[in-house]
Structure 1
Amino acid sequence: MSVVRPIAPARSLRTHGTHVRPSLNWRAGVLAGLSLTAPWALAVLHRVSQGQDLLLPPDVLKATTLSMGVALASTLTRGSSLARTWQVVGLAAAATAALAVLEPASARIDWYAMALTAFLAGFLMLTAQRLARPVRIGAIPSSTQIGPTDPAIDMLMDASLAQGPYDVLLINPEVSQNPSWSRYVITSACAGTRLDSIVDHIEQATGRVMPDRHRPDELVQSVRQARLYAAVKRGCDLALVLLMAPSALILSGIAMLAILVTMGRPIIFAQDRVGKDGRVFRMFKLRTMRPRKEGEAQCATAVNDSRITPLGKALRRTHVDELPQLWNVLIGDMSMIGPRPEQPGLVEKYEGLIPNYAMRHAVRPGITGWSQVRFGYAETVEETAQKLEYDLFYIREFGPAMDLSIAWRTVMVMFNPAHVR
């Protein structure tokens, strides 16, 4: 019997599922359509009321497109209804501010009205999501123990008691060979039910992989096939570093002066880390801890670590201490997005205890990454093994969509204490 340890609490499948979305009913469809057409319709009506022609000028066209983008971006938000509403408010404010800077001619636009329109579009889209018909998911248990599941997933124990039809039916390969279930599975498939693997569904819903259920070549296939994107990503890294350089230098200078006054030298903390293909490099950070005492064991940063100074806590909370890593990105040791690099001693330890740990070195390490925004820091070997499952998911899904998702989530969790130690 194949036994897989539980990999997520029940709420994870509901909160973080990405590949099964509710289907729109007619009410939700109408609201979704209004959210996308409202900015255009209001702009046209305003011009008609002013006696102008219906053709929108370029600056208004960009502003209305931006409002529509806020509506689409609101579909990516997570959390309670109130939290999601405030996220849309933030999206509308950030989008209008960005357009004001990037498009000086747009100063003629009534920004109050445009921000209100963007918020209205996003709020309509959120409401449409709330009204969408939930996807019915059924799962047929098998010899594989999958741990806790979402309460919204019906666990089917007997084909005769199954209340169909389901939109998605989660099965394992051996189920279709089971006489007591084969007819039900075939009938469901013919009725339009989508058949999906239980393991694949859980991995996509939780953003983690089960390493013992995949061959190493399957996990790194996306990295091998995305050579063009890897080159594009490297170019984007360089562009972002150059764009951030002026403000990063100013903030780093202020922080370095504060470290010199309160903690003394050294100011820069340099440490060996393991990068792509297992190559060791020197990673730079602003010092936030007291110097390691002679004979003190090398260990990962713990919650409320006594080695962190009061100034260091502030630098870590604001992530200013990581600004020197932009140099590592510039010279190619790191990327903006990727698994966090570990110390050689810890890597050697983890490789001896955790299967497939070395696979996380298939890509450049990053300043932020999938395991950072979804899991946070790992202190124990058990936590490191769980964190590896997120890193391997990133490697398996390596591509622009994954990196954009991480960049968005990084903004959402940047100042979350759970992701700072």
Structure 2
Amino acid sequence: MDFMVDRKIESGEPGEALQKPVTRIISKGSALTQKVIYVYCPSERESEIKQIVESYPFETIVNDYALNTYEKKVICHFESASLTKEQRQYLVKATELGAWVEPLVSYLDHRLGYTEVKLLHSGYFLHQKAFSILSTKRTQLSKRFVDITAAVCLAIISLPVCIVTALAIKLESKGPILYRQKRVGQYNEEFEVIKFRSMGTDAEKSGAQWAIQNDSRVTKVGKFIRKTRIDELPQILNILKGEMSIVGPRPEREVFISELEKTIPYYRFRHAVKPGVTGLAQVSYPYGASVEDAVWKHKYDIYYIKHHSTLLDIKVLLKTVKVVLFGAGR
């Protein structure tokens, strides 16, 4: 199915179409359900935009300056600073006459529920006030309060489970009960993440390796505690120490980050916040251990940082309970 229709007028410049205002202003809810959206971008980026959005479940029309009606129209712009003065004025007029006009990345954020990282550019990150989790002290204090409260409650509730798990690990195989590993945290500072050991003590004798589904290095007890996420419970200590949050991007190892940032745009921006025991990516995307999987999880991590709220944290925690009960995700 052809999702892209390029009806750019021959001159590539706005015509004299902006004459009549719409009779009804489109609502946000309606804007997010339109079957067709109009995108305006520099001509040299058209093919890239088409390739990125070709799989989306709605039609995208690029640079159609002959558009002459704005009833329930969604108009998105990408790199508008690179448009000509006349083209930018066209977008301003469309806004004045009642069209829904919004940056493309922002619109896709709300419609898809994740950030299209292939469309990111530096300007997306240069408006810190748009990231309340980064710029609002009250938000940070609120999140820390939730973290400590949740960690203390979880520690009390899970204590019997932790004791049984520790005994099971000790009985099954030789080695320490807890496993410590350096991970990269907020502001790119390394810390030691603490987990129940789920693999043999020689799991990385050949060097660092991606953890994969049905990993042969995982012990029998380890398989169960990884599936139920019991192995993550010792990270309560990381939370109390202020190194982690209950919800946030999962912490990764520097050896993998150095490779991933070569192919994934702005991959280290995930370190603008504390890593989490669980996160939006973990409950939204199935288990994976490839660069493509890392790209998808990055889409959810960037979305989480931009749109963080206490309500979103609660939703992630509720979804985490579902993941634990049904053994999905990671």
The answer to whether TM tops 0.5 is yes
Q: CA deviation at 1:268?
A: 1.2
The CA distance in 2 between the partners of 1:361 and 1:343, in whole Å, is 12
Residue 197 of structure 1 aligns with which residue?
A: 103
Residues 190 and 278 of structure 1: is their aligned pair in 2 closer, same or farther, counting only changes over 3 Å? closer
Higher mean C-alpha displacement, 170-179 vs 366-375: 170-179
Residue 21 of structure 1 aligns with which residue?
A: 29
Q: CA deviation at 1:406?
A: 2.3
1:242 maps to a residue whose letter is V
Residues 293 and 327 of structure 1: is their aligned pair in 2 closer, same or farther, counting only changes over 3 Å? closer
Q: Is the CA contact 1:277–1:361 (under 8 Å) kept in the aligned structure 2?
A: yes
State whether structure 2 residue 208 is matched by structure 1 residue 298.
yes
1:229 maps to a residue whose letter is T
The CA distance in 2 between the partners of 1:156 and 1:214, in whole Å, is 23
Choose from 36, 40, 50 the match for 1:138. Answer: 36
In structure 2, list runs of 5 or more residues that go unmatched.
1-26, 41-45
Q: CA deviation at 1:377?
A: 4.2
State whether structure 2 residue 291 is matched by structure 1 residue 381.
yes
Residues 205 and 368 of structure 1: is their aligned pair in 2 closer, same or farther, counting only changes over 3 Å? same
Residue 117 of structure 2 aligns with which residue?
A: 210
1:280-359 to 2 correspondences below 5 Å:
280-293=190-203, 295-359=205-269
2:126 maps to a residue whose letter is E
Q: Is the CA contact 1:170–1:197 (under 8 Å) kept in the aligned structure 2?
A: yes
Residues 197 and 358 of structure 1: is their aligned pair in 2 closer, same or farther, counting only changes over 3 Å? closer
Q: TM-score, normalised by structure 1?
A: 0.59
The percentage of aligned residue pairs carrying the same residue is 27
| 1:184-203 per-position Cα deviation (integer Å, ceiling 9, x unaligned) | x7886455332223332123
Q: CA deviation at 1:299?
A: 1.5
The CA distance in 2 between the partners of 1:152 and 1:352, in whole Å, is 31
The secondary structure found in structure 2 opposite 1:367 is: strand
Q: Is the CA contact 1:273–1:282 (under 8 Å) kept in the aligned structure 2?
A: yes
The CA distance in 2 between the partners of 1:154 and 1:333, in whole Å, is 43
Q: Is the CA contact 1:139–1:154 (under 8 Å) kept in the aligned structure 2?
A: yes
Q: Is the CA contact 1:220–1:396 (under 8 Å) kept in the aligned structure 2?
A: no
Residues 244 and 293 of structure 1: is their aligned pair in 2 closer, same or farther, counting only changes over 3 Å? closer
Cα root mean square deviation, aligned: 3.3
Q: CA deviation at 1:334?
A: 0.8
Normalized per residue, the structure richer in helix is 1
In structure 1, list runs of 5 or more residues that go unmatched.
1-18, 24-133
Q: Is the CA contact 1:220–1:395 (under 8 Å) kept in the aligned structure 2?
A: no
**Structure label with greater radius of gyration:** 1
Residues 416 and 165 of structure 1: is their aligned pair in 2 closer, same or farther, counting only changes over 3 Å? farther
Residues 312 and 278 of structure 1: is their aligned pair in 2 closer, same or farther, counting only changes over 3 Å? same
Between Structure 1 and Structure 2, how many residues are aligned? 289
2:29 maps to a residue whose letter is R
The secondary structure found in structure 2 opposite 1:359 is: helix
Normalized per residue, the structure richer in strand is 2
1:7-46 to 2 correspondences below 5 Å:
20-21=28-29
Q: TM-score, normalised by structure 2?
A: 0.74
1:138-287 to 2 correspondences below 5 Å:
138-142=36-40, 143=46, 144-145=49-50, 146-148=52-54, 150-153=56-59, 155=61, 165-166=71-72, 168-172=74-78, 173=80, 174=83, 177=86, 182=90, 189=95, 192-206=98-112, 207-210=114-117, 212-215=120-123, 217-218=125-126, 220-221=128-129, 222=131, 223-287=133-197
1:168 maps to a residue whose letter is V
| 1:348-394 per-position Cα deviation (integer Å, ceiling 9, x unaligned) | 33345544222211111110112212224442233323322322222
The CA distance in 2 between the partners of 1:345 and 1:188, in whole Å, is 48
